[in-house]
Amino acid sequence: MSDKKYNFALISFILVLILPFFINLIFNHPTFDDFYYSEKARHFGYFDAQMKWYKYWTGKFFSTAVLSISPLYFRSFVGYDILVFLVNVMTPIVIYKLLSQITGAILTTSEKSLLTVSVYFVFLCSMPALAQGFYWLTGIFVYLVPILLTMLFFICYSKLSAAVGKSKRFTLIFIATIILVAITGSSEIAMVFIASLFVSFLLLKFKMKGKIDLYDIVFCSAIILGSYIIISAPGNDLRSETFPMKNDFLHSVILSATELAKNTLLWMFKTPLIPVTFLLMPIMSRLIRRFSNVPQFLKLHPIYYVITFLFVMSACTFAPVWSTGLVPFKRTQNVVSFFFVAGFMFLTFVFYSRSASSKKLIPDKFIKLSFIPVITILILLGFTKNNVRSSFADLITGTAYQYDIQMKQRYDYIRKNDSELIEVNDIKNIPRTFYFTDITTDKNFDLNIWYAQYFGKKSIALKKTDNP
């Protein structure tokens, strides 16, 4: 099998497994905080709403600012669906752009495409909270968008070294600075992620080049500024009062170390990470052999990358435990899972590049054995609980479709009803991959109030049912 056919076959195989995630987006609907942000902004006014969130709830200044003018603000469910789709489809696109920026013309389009879909596929499989990171707009902007922005930042950073002219360099520095502030303002976990990652990056850069540039200081300042804004929010203090075990150092160290160990084992052995990485070995081999000179980053001892990997992982696991005293919410670990997947593949490449076998052409028999990891992937996905299996199940069984029908019937009923109190039926059989928090029988519950405001009604509640 030729290299092109090998790449095409694997890309097709992986895309088939990814496709249900996107098909199910057709049946997705907004929920909970999606209404909260848009309705608060309409009620108080955009800028007043930002100040109220900052003072009384959260310091996430970037994500709240963006979510306040989501399509729901303009009363558009269609716009909501389009935005969720666009952000999700941007993820593999940005991964591809980053790979293109790093590898240049060394890899072919098909090779970069295979790397892209591989990283993206394993990320979808390893995502601890798929429902809150793929189908929920609020979760997307708080936890997924920072990942995209981080990759965009490093694309800008990479272009800086080749930029000619003060104007172009200034533009790149300005854009990168804005991106960094946006990342830190997305969420606390995003702040810790970019801070730990960039500090580690600068240490590696200093180790390799013996210096850091002036714009690195600018970028550090941007991270510090954004971090200060998010940390100093009065709303954080009010919200932290609900976590009595917060800021217990020993407890945080033990619990975060335990969770990191659990997640590491889970992502390595209960996702297709290892078999997919094995399938990428031919590309890694070709990439190494195509280097005219050994790149500077491959001359650095792998131990430095291992330390960086562990440091960022540990920081991103420790921070949420320290701030709450609880096991990290799964949605916060979506960020960590992406870094783990990308970092694991990068470390595999680094270690493989130092082996003698990496300089040799991988024989055809290796390619012929590729069916082994493919079968392993199918077994993992078919016989274990995972995001891919759940996505296929929601689609094939019609659960996602029926959910969509129920939601549309509810919307239609609400729009046509002018009662003082509109009572609706509860939603049955929620898809496993969707995030859904329903209104309650209490018309004064927060979500009920936001719901009623959105549809322009006085009050909405679930119908009360007698317990058997």
Q: What is the pLDDT of residues 99-134, one digit of tens each?
A: 999 998 899 999 999 999 999 999 999 999 999 999
Sequence letter at residue 392: F
* Integer Cα distance of 463 and 456 in angstroms: 19
Whether the per-residue pLDDT at 366 is higher than 80: the answer is: no
Cα distances from 368 to residues 227, 274, 361, 363, in angstroms, run 50, 18, 14, 9
Evaluated on CA atoms 137, 138, 140, 145, the torsion sign reads positive
Average pLDDT of the segment spanning 266-289: 90
Q: Which pLDDT score, from 0 to 100, does residue 105 have? A: 86
Which pLDDT does position 466 carry in this prediction? 64
Judged against a pLDDT cut of 60, whether residue 361 lies above it is answered with: no
Q: Does 360 have pLDDT greater than 80?
A: no
Return the percentage of the chain with pLDDT > 70, whole number: 96
Distance separating alpha carbons of residues 163 and 179, to the nearest angstrom: 18
Helix residue ranges per DSSP H, 136-269? 137-139, 145-160, 166-184, 188-209, 214-231, 234-240, 249-269
Residues 6+ apart with CB under 8 A from 69: 38, 41, 46
Collect all residues with Cβ–Cβ distance below 8 Å to 435 and sequence separation of at least 6: 31, 32, 131, 132, 135, 136, 139
Rounded to two decimals, the pTM is 0.94
pLDDT at 247: 87
- Angle (deg, nearest 10), helices 188-209 and 302-324: 160
